[in-house]
Amino acid sequence: MLDVDVLIVGAGPVGLFGAYYAGARGLRTAIVDALSQVGGQVSAMYPEKEIYDIAGFPAVSGRRLIAGLVEQAAPYRPAYVLGEEAQRLEHVPGGLLVVKTGGGTEITARAVVVTGGIGTFTPRPLPAGEEFLGRGLEYFVPDGADYAGRDVVVVGGGDSAVDWALMLHPIASSVTLVHRRAAFRAHHGSVERLKAAPVEIITNAQVTAAHGGHRLERVELSTGATLPCQRLVAALGFTANLGPLREWGLDLHDNRHLVVDSAMRTNVPGIFAAGDIADYDGKVRLIAVGFGEVATAVNNAAVHIDPAAQLFPGHSTDHPAPV
C-alpha cells in the first residue's frame, strides 16, 4: 500500500516530467505504468530515434530524453510502480482516491494525473518462447550492457526491431534479425543502415520454438534453421487501449481520449489528464505540448489538494532540487 499526494498514471515522458513538477511543489508522488520500464511509447517504439522538437535540444534520442527526465525527477524520490496496470478506482471519505493495480498494489492519493499516452501498452507475444520471459526473452532493451558478448535474435520489422539490432550489434557476439515478411515497416534510412551493418537478416521466417535450461540457449525458425540465442528480443509491436480507465466515469472523446478543461481537469473531481490522452478544442499531440499540459495539471492538482496553495509555483531558479 502506498499513500501519496499525487498519483501519476503513465510513466512516459509527460508523466516523468509531471513527477518532477509534483516533487518541486513538495508533493509526495507515485507513478504507475503497465509496462515494466519507464518511457512509454518513446522507450517501446523508438528509443534510438532522434527527436528534434524538444525545446533546448537540437536533437536528442528517445533513450537520452527518458534518462534525463528520470534524473530530473530523482531528487524528489517518486515511487515507481511498474509492470502493474491501474485498474480499479474508489472514492473514499475526505476526497481521497484509491487506485488498485492489477498487481495488487493499492495507492491512496489526493489527486490523480493521467498521462497514459494512447492507453495501456501490451506487447504482442511471440508464437513461441514465452516460457523464457525474463530468462532470455525480453520485449524491451532498457540497457544494452546485458547483451554484451551474447548471441542475440531480434524479431520484428518495425522501427523498434531495427533500432535495437543497430544498437546491439557493436556489443553483442552476434545479432540476427528475423522478420516474417520481406518488406520492413521501419524507416527506410534505418533499414539501409541495418543492411550495411554486420547483422544477419532472415526474412519470411518466424521463431517457432525456443530451447534451454534455466536460461534460453537457442531458437528454431520456420525455415528449419536453429540459431544460438541467449537473448531473444520480441519487437512485434504493441496493442494499446484505455482499458480499465473506461470504468472510472471519465468523459471520453472518440472513445479514446479524456476530455479536460483549461486547468487539465477531467469531469471527475481530483482527476486531471495531460499528454496525448487528454483532449480539448485545438489539441496538438506533441511531447512538447504535453510537458506544458502536465505542469498545468500538477499545479492545479496542488491547489485541489490544498486550496490555500498558490497556483503559480514560483520560478525554479529560486527553488533548486535537493541534493
Annotated binding site for FAD: 33, 41, 46, 86, 121, 276, 317
CA 47 to mean position of chain CA atoms: 10
Hey, what's the cell of 138?
525480453
Rounded to 5°, the CA angle 146-131-168 comes to 25
Length of the chain: 323
Hey, what's the cell of 129?
518462447
Asked if 6 and 294 count as a contact pair (C-beta separation under 8 A), the reply is: no
* Residue positions forming the annotated binding site: 33, 41, 46, 86, 121, 276, 317
How do beta strands 257-259 and 271-273 pair? Answer: unpaired
Hey, what's the cell of 319?
527553488
Count of Cβ atoms closer than 10 Å to residue 43 Cβ: 24
Cα dist. 295→3, 100, 111, 309 in Å? 22, 25, 14, 15
Q: Which residues are within 8 A (CB) of 222 and not within 5 positions of it... i.e. 6 or more apart?
A: 205, 206, 207, 208
**Closest by Cα among 46, 36, 34 to 10:** 34
The secondary structure element, H or E, covering residue 299 is helix 287-305
For every residue of 137-191, DSSP letters joined together read EES--S-GGGGTT-EEEEE-SSHHHHHHHHHHTTTSSEEEEEESSSS--S-HHHH
Hey, what's the cell of 240?
494499446
For every residue of 13-73, DSSP letters joined together read HHHHHHHHHHHHTT--EEEEESSSSS-HHHHHH-TTSEE--BTTBSSEEHHHHHHHHHHHH
